[in-house]
Amino acid sequence: MIPVSLDPRALNLGLAGHGPAALRRWQLIAEGGAMQAQCFADAPDAALQASAGEACRLGLPDEETLSRLDVLWIVGMPDDEAAALAQRARRHKILVNVEDRREHCTFHNAAEVRRGALLLTVSTDGRSPGLAQRIRGFLAQTFGPEWGERLEMIGNQRDEWRRGGDDLPVLAAKTETFLQQNGWLAELTPHRK
CA 182 to chain centre: 29
Answer with the one of 81, 109, 137 that is the final residue of a domain. Answer: 109
Q: How far apart are CA 122 and CA 132, in angstroms?
A: 6
Rounded to the nearest 5°, which phi and psi values hold at 56?
Answer: -80, 130
> Does residue 131 belong to any structural domain of this protein?
no
171: containing domain: 146-182
> Does residue 123 belong to any structural domain of this protein?
no
> Does residue 47 belong to any structural domain of this protein?
yes
Give the CA distances from residue 29 to residues 40, 123, 164, in Å, rounded to whole numbers and listed in that order.
Answer: 14, 17, 36
Q: Is 16 exposed, middle or buried (0-12, 13-18, 19+ CB in 10 A)?
A: buried
Residues 84 and 150 in one domain: no
Q: What is the pLDDT along the chain (193 residues), one digit of tens a residue?
A: 788 899 999 999 999 999 999 999 999 999 999 999 999 998 889 999 999 999 999 999 999 999 999 999 999 999 999 999 999 999 999 999 999 898 999 998 888 999 999 999 999 887 888 999 999 999 999 999 999 999 999 999 999 999 999 999 999 999 999 999 999 988 775 554 5
At residue 73, the pLDDT reads: 98
Q: How many domains is the chain built from?
A: 2
Residues 154 and 75 in one domain: no
At residue 154, the pLDDT reads: 97
Rounded to the nearest 5°, which phi and psi values hold at 23?
Answer: -60, -45
> Does residue 151 belong to any structural domain of this protein?
yes
Q: Residue 82: which CATH number?
A: 3.40.50.720
Residues 104 and 152 in one domain: no
Instruction: Find the Cα–Cα–Cα–Cα dihedral 100, 101, 107, 110, rounded to 10°.
Output: 10
> Does residue 57 belong to any structural domain of this protein?
yes
Residues 104 and 153 in one domain: no
At residue 186, the pLDDT reads: 80
Residues 92 and 156 in one domain: no
Amino acid, single-letter form, for residue 34: A
> Does residue 4 belong to any structural domain of this protein?
no
> Does residue 58 belong to any structural domain of this protein?
yes
